[in-house]
Structure 1
Amino acid sequence: MEIKITQKFVAELIGTFGLVLFGCGAAAVAGTTTLGGLSGLGLLGIALAFGLSVVVFAYAIGGLSGCHINPAVTIGVLVAGKITAKEAVIYMIAQFLGALLGAFVLQQILSGQIAGYDAGEWAYGANGWGKEYQNEYGVTAAFLTEAVLTFIFLFVILATTSKVGNPTMAGLAIGITLVLIHLVAIPITGTSVNPARSFGPAILAGGKALSQLWLFIIAPIVGAIIAAFVWRTLEPKGN
């Protein structure tokens, strides 16, 4: 069965849209608020929202596009020789558009609060670092966190989806890995490991979120490329 590139484009757009809406939505809408007697989700809840989003879309669109929903994943898969450069570019365009659309919908939902919504700095689940962000880690710690955790994320993706992995369980393993990553990184950077996930909220939040976006593009890509090269040295050759 041939899958057209347009089908892959739409799949990646929808998947990334859902990841941002569910993950960033959990952080922005319910992560830190207490309304009507309902407590905020907290660290574990937000981590689960991102991880479960990946699991859901891995099984929903994995058969169409492989469910990258992350430019760092696409670049890592490209370096590993699993996708063409043309496909990679199309995937990334879809991912950035999907993330922006997800952040836009989240923005419209939040602006619907009757009492008004004060977006403030790093709004809509945007990533960041430094003074007044989370536990106020510096730029070096933020970069190292994002690069190393993306390395681990890509390594798990490449290993579980390889011929020596277990493709039927790959979506679950990848999603659980993302949960673990969020448990470590949320207090540091809010957790990106995904340039598109950072791009959507930062574009709409502006300010510090936008000025710090560069780190959440470069660091995950660095980690992904290193993971791809490492996996290429480990992956069994031949049949």
Structure 2
Amino acid sequence: MKKYVAELVGTFILVFFGCGTAVVAGDKVGIVGIAFAFGFALIGAAYGIGPISGCHINPAVSLGVWSAGRMKTGDMIGYWIGQFCGAILGAGVLSLIIRGVGGGYDISTNGLGQNGWGAGYQGGYNITSAIVFEFVATLIFVVVILGSTQKAAPGGFAGLAIGITLVAIHICGIHVTGVSVNPARSFGPALLVGGKAISQVWLFLVVPSVAGVVGGLLFRLGALEASQQAETKEKREVVSA
């Protein structure tokens, strides 16, 4: 149960600070500031709850870990529950705060940092662009996560590498979809905003999940998993140093 609670807390942190920066201060800090908010929130969560749950805080990541053979099905479902609950709570607390702004705040009109595509959303990119970006970005994200947490990877740096990658993904793709690469992060705000946000959320549930499975299979099938020989060689080099 500790692992599931940790995932709830971590996902709350990601949504609250990432989406919160977009909603409260997006016009002040711009795309780069929002990107760093998501990345730094992830880094903080990684070192805060990583020792407990591994800090997936993303159903697509948990699916990738599962398809890579590093996680049991029961744990994956528990992680999903924690992640979606954390995202909903994060969006809920953000909505309470933003409603207190002078002059009021209409969530259905101004949103909560939800994802989307098409006319009237960010750069107005079409659904094809949204699907391609979310698939490629999530696949890259999952590959970085699985690669930086495998046994042959340098210890202690995974959280930093993953957070920096998330920053780069946001800088690249905020104008395309607002950047999901995380079904829970998309679902929480969309649930509260409703309307177009909830009608489009299917894409951010399905596409990142498919990418997560593909990323996991690349490791399970050995295409990106470090060989035992490479791991042994690295251990010897460390000992020699």
Checking the alignment, whether the CA contact within 8 Å between 2:108 and 2:195 is kept in structure 1 is no
Q: Which ranges of structure 1 fall in alignment gaps of 5 or more residues?
A: 1-5, 33-39
2:10 paired with 1:10 = no
2:62 paired with 1:74 = yes
Checking the alignment, whether the CA contact within 8 Å between 1:121 and 1:207 is kept in structure 2 is no
**Runs of 4+ in structure 1 displaced over 3 angstroms?**
236-239
Worse-matched range after superposition: 121-130 or 132-141: 121-130
Q: Which residue of 2 aligns with 1:3?
A: none
1:184-211 deviations in Å (ceiling 9; x for gaps): 1100000000000000000000000000
1:203-223 deviations in Å (ceiling 9; x for gaps): 000000000000001110111
Worse-matched range after superposition: 116-125 or 193-202: 116-125
1:168 match: secondary structure = coil
Q: Which residue of 1 aligns with 2:197?
A: 209
**CA–CA separation in structure 1 for the residues paired with 2:137 and 2:149:** 18
Checking the alignment, whether the CA contact within 8 Å between 1:122 and 1:209 is kept in structure 2 is no
Residue 225 of structure 1 and its aligned partner are, at CA, apart by 1.0
**CA–CA separation in structure 2 for the residues paired with 1:57 and 1:97:** 16
1:41 match: secondary structure = helix
1:139-183 deviations in Å (ceiling 9; x for gaps): 010011001000000000000000111230000000000000001
1:155 to 140, 143, 149: 143
1:99-138 deviations in Å (ceiling 9; x for gaps): 0000000000011113111224461000000000001000
Q: Which ranges of structure 2 fall in alignment gaps of 5 or more residues?
A: 233-241
Q: 1:68 to 1:220 in 2, by over 3 A?
A: same
The TM-score, its normalising length taken from structure 2, stands at 0.92
5 Å matches for 1:11-26?
A: 11-26=6-21
Count, aligned residues: 227
Query: Over aligned residue pairs, what C-alpha RMSD do you find?
Result: 1.1
Q: Which residue of 2 aligns with 1:235?
A: 225
1:53-97 deviations in Å (ceiling 9; x for gaps): 110011001000000000000000000011100000000000000
2:30 paired with 1:31 = no
**What is the percentage of aligned positions where both structures have the same residue?**
52
5 Å matches for 1:1-239?
A: 6-32=1-27, 40-121=28-109, 123-232=111-220, 233=222, 234-238=224-228
Residue 237 of structure 1 and its aligned partner are, at CA, apart by 4.4
**CA–CA separation in structure 1 for the residues paired with 2:173 and 2:37:** 14
Structure with the largest fraction of helix: 2
Worse-matched range after superposition: 60-69 or 112-121: 112-121
Q: Which residue of 2 aligns with 1:35?
A: none
Q: Which residue of 1 aligns with 2:235?
A: none
**CA–CA separation in structure 1 for the residues paired with 2:33 and 2:102:** 25
Checking the alignment, whether the CA contact within 8 Å between 1:121 and 1:208 is kept in structure 2 is no
Checking the alignment, whether the CA contact within 8 Å between 2:68 and 2:218 is kept in structure 1 is no
Q: Partner amino acid for 1:211?
A: S
